[in-house]
Chains A and B, each alone.
Chain A
């Protein structure tokens, strides 16, 4: 893909509170989009509590550079990108030609995490990094896995995103926090705001929840995913849609991936 001068899109995956399954959703969506023949990148912008690399079985100790190194000017952002395409088979031979997935992990070293929190970093450089990645790696989609809440880098990732995916659970605090995030995102003129309701008890009335949420937030619910024991059992031990391709949740994730791709 990435032909005809068409520039890649930034997809921010965000949730107001932790534990919504945000990193899992980001990884699964990125893999699904890449498997359809797209060049995809994931930046773990959750510098305070990085973790998405675990899902890709990445040995962070053996990685030469992380996002932290880029933000401190120790390397280019492309140098921090790890090609994790070998983890997944492409959906068909033709797609396999173009489909790639790069992960730009954050450091999991306590010292490096506290330093960046203490000293801060140039948020503008982060934005430059996104742009460099899209250009350098010829990405069709760049997924940003953000830190929960609304701090500076989160606001930046919301501001730069072409598609903002907000993940929430059917929970009072999530409803309120998501309302704040939606309010902020509207002021940052996010063009495409999608909602995913995750970890819904299978007993619940899914359609009723969809109706209420779309009415309250004035944004489409692109996915309503049940709380799944299979997902719990996998316990961040891999990419769910690769381990259980026929699972109801995998099919729903694939549907969301199609929705992202279709959103031209």
Chain B
């Protein structure tokens, strides 16, 4: 009956979907199921009856206690050997990363419980191992994506703030934008976006700079024109004043000669003599 039960149990174990092995209190393998054969590449016929941690070799490449051994060692420190350790009564549930299991390593979930005989004596331990590498990698990718998304959101917020500044004509923070393009941890998309913005701002700045130069040149020309205008106005005033002035000059010697020519005539002398009388007669 007992033999039948054992046989029955072994068959159940053999066909469990998770890789499972059983050891007796001496640490010898008494069961190594098909899923375990598949996972480790080591057949049950080779492993059954092996002790001295032989079963650890396919996992670690060396002989060392596995969870099934540890559960048979009361008071043994377990936590330092695993990523996570959970104790549910006499059962241990752990996570472990084994870098040497395959290129790139592998994550395993393992659960081990002691086995008892009908009298309640510990007769061995059973350990189930599940390759959770795919799940962990997906979780890690998800976490990474989440983190990247968070960074992208933060950078985008910074971009919005910067763009608002640029829109208001404040280009003091262009350097901050350039810094965003250099950020190592941020997603490529955000870096590209920041770079595009930087180029855009650079072009705008260049254009504005050119415009400022043109305005500056125009201002300078205007000043020069105003100076020229003032100078011209002054010259005009001087010219006008010159034009407005009439220089009255008399050739006095010629005048004396002309006057004498007239006053020395007989007729003039007569008029001169009679002038008073003539006027008197007029009165």
Contact = CB atoms under 8 A, between A and B. Distances in A.
B202 to A, nearest CB: 61
Contact of B254 (A134, A155, A176, A184): A176
Contacts of A216: 248, 250
B240 interface: yes
Contacts, number: 92
B281 interface: yes
Interface in A198-233: 203-205, 208-209, 212-213, 216
Contact of B282 (A7, A123, A184): A7
Given A7-B283, A152-B267, A162-B279, A175 B249 contact: yes
A159 interface: yes
A204 B252 CA distance: 25
Interface stretch (B102-110, B147-155, B184-192, B255-263): B255-263
B250 A187 contact: no
B89 interface: no
A209 B246 contact: yes
A189 interface: yes
B4 interface: no
A204 B275 CA distance: 38
A100 B262 CA distance: 37
Contacts of A184: 259, 262-263, 268
A246 B275 CA distance: 40
B5 interface: no
Contacts of B259: 180, 183-184, 187
A48 interface: no
A179 B250 contact: yes
A176 B251 CA distance: 7
Contacts of B281: 127, 131, 160
Max chain A CB contacts within 10 Å: which of B243, B247, B256, B281?
B281
DSSP class of B's interface residues: helix, strand, loop or mixed? helix
A188 interface: yes
Contacts of B196: none
Interface string A243-260: 000000000000000000
B255 A179 contact: yes
Interface in A32-81: none
Given A155-B271, A156-B271, A187-B272, A127 B278 contact: yes
B74 to A, nearest CB: 128
A203 B240 contact: yes
Given A188-B272, A205-B244, A176 B279 contact: no
7 contacts: A127-B281, A131-B281, A150-B262, A155-B267, A156-B278, A189-B275, A203-B240
Interface of A: 7-10, 123, 127, 130-131, 134, 150, 152, 155-156, 159-162, 170, 172, 175-176, 179-180, 183-184, 187-189, 191, 203-205, 208-209, 212-213, 216
The 3 A-B pairs at the shortest CB distance, nearest first, are namely A183-B259, A7-B283, A205-B244
